[in-house]
């Protein structure tokens, strides 16, 4: 059974702990072992800040090695407006709704980071998705929110989106809630924001009634590009926030200080029994572990430290800039990218407090010794990651954010970015760059584009949460 077939039965692999069969997989193991290889990938593709006078689009990439169009961009869904800056996106429903009846994972929720416009795309046919509805920015601004980021489907028939700013692009942000049936706006998810002033990514564990959110900055701060003075002025985040999932109230703040400047992606284990997780601090270039300490409060420690490196073209040591990380579906391996250094790393986290580096691949960046793949110059470096459900193929794109791209890798703004892949051998704890797979978004129809987040039809390890 292919996960690229139009949904319905695609998402059901025996519901062992409940009679109702809903969308998704009953367990992470069922998704990892019961689904077939990915055949297509949805890729955020944008043209903000480029010479190309065109709208952003959702790209469909053929990742089936038996296909005549393997490693090609086979379809594009153009947005109806220019300047959205598509960034992160998610599904209308996922494995968190496995107890719900009548739901189908068939719509992508695609926000524009700069426009605050939210697109609803019918993806029931993965090779021919189409826009079904657009929520205009004015509807979002009515709730004094802007800059949508992380999209998660949640068990109660809702979709929750982290929002990084208020209607004017200033602090604080919040969380916007949509209805799963008609994609209308319900309003804010949170009942009490507490002392949360900044927002970015979030993850939740419904079995333990907890949600963890991280911090980037106000849109008015990061939109123009990175400025060290903003860091010195405290305009970037250094904390994560613990929320009560049931009451939707802010419970606790963990502040990292210099060890955790700009904490971005939050990942908790897929095992719903776990009460711990990791967050990557981009500017500090650390990976931090957080956990529930047994009395309802949470604690943290630094478990991985990427040392800054000297570079002849830089006035200061170059941080790795950990911009994305993910956990394999069996929770054994942690992967993350160092966007400024130019490597992607693989750690064994079987001992969660003592991650063990097992391999890394260098490709592009300021220190990578590999400057081209398949005859294509690598513009940028490993950035957004996505792992195959069976844990054997790691894909990544090389663009971060339009103004930050143009600042650190200006060639992306001129020629577009790439999508690359490494084959992963989990039994041996290693990975190997696939020299035959490269999708050059410089050749996109209508002109170059930046490739960003990746999702699989049928779900993946960065979108699905289990009850």
Report the pLDDT value the prediction gives residue 102, as an integer from 0 to 100.
80
Residue 9: pLDDT above 50?
A: no
pLDDT band, residue 467 (cuts 50/70/90): confident
pLDDT band, residue 164 (cuts 50/70/90): very high
Residue 209: pLDDT above 70?
A: yes
d(CA 240, CA 252): 9
Among the ranges given (22-26, 285-289, 433-437), the one the predictor scored with the smallest mean pLDDT? 22-26
Report the pLDDT value the prediction gives residue 103, as an integer from 0 to 100.
86
**Residues 37-43: what's their mean pLDDT?**
97
Report the pLDDT value the prediction gives residue 22, as an integer from 0 to 100.
64
pLDDT tens digits along 97-106: 876 778 889 9
φ and ψ at residue 356, rounded to 5 degrees: -120, 120
Report the pLDDT value the prediction gives residue 97, as an integer from 0 to 100.
83
- Confirm if 150 and 90 have CB atoms less than 8 A apart: yes
pLDDT band, residue 157 (cuts 50/70/90): confident
Quote the tokens at residue 167. Answer: 């209607």
pLDDT band, residue 21 (cuts 50/70/90): low
pLDDT tens digits along 341-363: 999 999 999 999 999 999 999 99
d(CA 213, CA 436): 38
Report the pLDDT value the prediction gives residue 15, as an integer from 0 to 100.
41
pLDDT tens digits along 367-394: 988 999 999 999 999 999 999 999 999 9
Residue 3: pLDDT above 70?
A: no
Q: Would you state the torsion angle of the CA atoms of residues 61, 81, 213, 325, taken in this order, to the nearest 10 degrees? A: 20
- Confirm if 11 and 23 have CB atoms less than 8 A apart: yes
Residue 285: pLDDT above 90?
A: yes
Report the pLDDT value the prediction gives residue 13, as an integer from 0 to 100.
36
pLDDT tens digits along 181-192: 999 999 999 999
Report the pLDDT value the prediction gives residue 2, as an integer from 0 to 100.
37
Report the pLDDT value the prediction gives residue 11, as an integer from 0 to 100.
38
Report the pLDDT value the prediction gives residue 6, as an integer from 0 to 100.
38
**Residues 134-163: what's their mean pLDDT?**
96
The pTM for the full model equals: 0.95
Residue 150: pLDDT above 60?
A: yes
Residue 252: pLDDT above 50?
A: yes
Residue 18: pLDDT above 80?
A: no
**3-state secondary structure at position 305:** strand
Residue 10: pLDDT above 90?
A: no
pLDDT band, residue 19 (cuts 50/70/90): low
pLDDT tens digits along 304-343: 999 999 999 999 999 999 999 999 999 999 999 999 999 9
Better-scored residue on pLDDT, 300 or 21: 300
Q: CB neighbours of 302 closer than 8 A, spacing ≥ 6?
A: 259, 260, 286, 287, 288, 289
Largest CA distance in the chain: 63
Residue 26: pLDDT above 90?
A: no
Better-scored residue on pLDDT, 23 or 443: 443
How many residues in total does the chain contain?
467
Report the percent of the chain where pLDDT is more than 70: 95
What's the whole-number average pLDDT of the chain? 94
pLDDT band, residue 226 (cuts 50/70/90): very high
Report the pLDDT value the prediction gives residue 7, as an integer from 0 to 100.
37
- Confirm if 109 and 116 have CB atoms less than 8 A apart: no
């Amino acid at each position: 059974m292919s996960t690229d077939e139009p949904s319905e039965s695609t998402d059901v692999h025996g519901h062992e702990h409940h009679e109702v069969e809903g969308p998704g997989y009953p367990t992470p193991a069922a998704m990892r072992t019961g689904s077939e290889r990915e055949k297509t990938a949805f890729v955020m593709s944008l043209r903000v800040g480029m010479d190309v006078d065109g709208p952003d689009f959702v790209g469909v990439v053929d990742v089936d090695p038996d296909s005549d169009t393997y490693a090609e961009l086979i379809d594009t869904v153009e947005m109806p407006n220019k300047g959205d800056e598509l960034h992160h996106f998610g599904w209308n429903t996922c494995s968190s709704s496995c107890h719900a009846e009548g739901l189908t994972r068939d719509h992508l929720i695609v926000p524009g980071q700069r426009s605050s416009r939210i697109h609803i795309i019918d993806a029931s046919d993965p090779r021919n998705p189409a826009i079904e509805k657009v929520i205009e920015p004015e509807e979002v601004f009515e709730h004094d929110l802007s800059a949508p980021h992380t999209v998660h489907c949640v068990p109660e028939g809702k979709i929750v989106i982290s929002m990084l700013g208020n209607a004017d692009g200033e602090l604080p942000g919040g969380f916007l809630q949509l209805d799963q049936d008609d994609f209308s706006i319900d309003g804010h998810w949170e009942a009490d924001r507490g002392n949360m002033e900044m927002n970015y990514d979030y993850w939740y564990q419904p079995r333990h009634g907890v949600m963890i959110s991280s911090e980037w900055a106000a849109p008015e701060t990061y939109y123009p590009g990175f400025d060290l003075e903003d860091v010195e002025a405290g305009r970037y985040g250094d904390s994560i926030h613990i929320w009560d999932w049931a009451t939707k109230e802010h419970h606790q703040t963990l502040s990292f200080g210099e060890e955790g400047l700009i904490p971005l992606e939050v990942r908790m284990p897929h095992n719903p029994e776990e009460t711990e997780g990791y967050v990557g601090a981009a500017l500090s270039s650390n990976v931090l572990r957080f956990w529930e300490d047994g009395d309802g409060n949470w604690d943290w420690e630094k478990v991985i430290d990427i040392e800054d490196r000297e570079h002849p073209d830089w006035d200061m040591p170059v941080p790795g800039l950990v911009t994305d990380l993910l956990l394999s579906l069996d929770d054994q391996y942690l992967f993350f990218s160092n966007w400024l250094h130019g490597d992607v790393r693989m750690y064994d986290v079987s001992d969660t407090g003592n991650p063990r580096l097992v391999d890394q691949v260098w490709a592009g960046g300021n220190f990578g010794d590999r400057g081209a793949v398949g005859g294509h110059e690598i513009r940028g470096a490993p950035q957004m990651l996505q792992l195959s459900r069976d844990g054997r193929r790691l894909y990544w794109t090389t663009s971060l954010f339009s103004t930050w791209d143009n600042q650190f890798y200006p060639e992306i703004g001129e020629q577009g970015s790439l999508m690359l892949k490494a084959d992963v051998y989990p039994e041996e704890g290693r990975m190997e760059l696939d020299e035959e797979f490269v999708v050059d978004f410089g050749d996109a129809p209508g002109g170059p584009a930046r490739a960003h987040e990746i999702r699989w039809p049928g779900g993946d390890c960065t979108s699905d949460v289990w009850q």
